Chains A and B, each alone.
Chain A
């Protein structure tokens, strides 16, 4: 259906994932996904080693909450799992297939909502969602019902045709989150998704996550806010930072 298909004819590495994506708004997974596995991942940002030895296993329907103090590497781990960063050590796998071998299919399998909303002041929420769906290779005609659903799920119908520069921080956050529903993807990576959300919107997010999980979706979420998620496992990043290595010249 997209870049993955070209890859697939050469190397049928993740056929199940590609099948999953060809289902439009699939009610349930046709073929079960393999687990997403991180083994001893280490991440470096610039000169600093952020964490070493982060391991996790995420099965379909699972939720992983990343916890840790500011700067412990929650956002870095999410970017790493998204494939935006490359791990300096360790492996990231779908089942037994390494993610790095077929990044295009991996990207097609995930939604990444960073702590920035990625909205343009001159565009309307509806256009933002249509653009996000089109970037993932969805034709507008087939994406239209999903767009309306996504807008409704985050209570955005009333402001769907306003320019984003009129929106409040919470409304902007809801538009960013509505991308999750505008096009389907089995893995959601959410970086502080509840920032600026009111309690009603947070409930809507919790519902969206629960529905996604009931269809076999996976969620990885970095958050400080108390969020209602059933049977979530937690990965603490606090103990994973290596001891600070001072430059020998500075240490003197």
Chain B
């Protein structure tokens, strides 16, 4: 029964993301545009671009994921759906997990899937492209989960977007270090295994901790 409620919430959020389309499209467009801007800024020399490509791609993906976070709980909070969710048979911890999972599928996965095309623009070493895809697929769940905590904490605050960025960006530093580190290692011909494992560890640690913290913040916002 709890599983049915979990899947219902997950499917509803995905369906809304698909039908409204705006959020996913915006995130992808932002990611592409940011990456495309870099050659204009730092110059078109392939060596310079290839050298900084792992960092550029990861920072751009991170900012793109940040862009959609304020929509994670706010619409449900404003239209009263969050009351229904809080009163459902689904514990609020699992409800936030379902919402973060839907957020990941509608933003993190498209970001990861489009990243190889952008890697070509930046002349990233072809050996590193598989690692880039893997690092984003492993790391973006952590971005959605950590972002969920910040989105829940800033619910109902004035200037939620700014506050959200200030809260969440420091917490995004560890995934950024290990994600970009893995891609850089692969580009230099070294095994990226350790960085990917640490990135996976971050995601696995966020999986139980973040929904728990986010649910506590949501209860505060509802009360």
Q: Which residues of chain A have a CB within 8 Å of any CB of chain B?
A: 1-4, 82-86, 104, 107-108, 110, 112, 114-120, 122-123, 127, 130-132, 134-139
Contacts and interface: CB of A to CB of B under 8 A. Distances in A.
A104 B2 CA distance: 12
Contacts of B217: none
B12 A2 contact: no
A114 B80 CA distance: 7
B87 A83 contact: yes
Given A135-B9, A137-B1, A137-B5, A3 B84 contact: no
A111 B35 CA distance: 49
B42 interface: no
Nearest to A115: B80
B8 interface: yes
Contacts of A1: 1
10 contacts: A2-B89, A3-B2, A82-B87, A84-B222, A104-B91, A116-B78, A118-B80, A118-B83, A122-B15, A134-B5
A136 B16 contact: no
Nearest to B86: A84
B79 interface: yes
Interface residues of B, number: 28
A136 B83 contact: no
A136 to B, nearest CB: 6
A114 B84 CA distance: 9
A134 B83 contact: no
Contacts of B43: none
Contacts of A83: 87
Given A131-B8, A135-B9, A136-B89, 15 more contacts: A2-B2, A2-B89, A84-B86, A84-B222, A86-B223, A104-B91, A107-B88, A112-B83, A112-B84, A118-B84, A122-B15, A134-B5, A137-B1, A138-B4, A139-B4
B158 interface: no
Contacts of B12: 120, 123, 127, 131
Nearest to B88: A135
Contacts of A112: 83-84, 87
Contact of B8 (A2, A84, A108, A134): A134
Contacts of B56: none
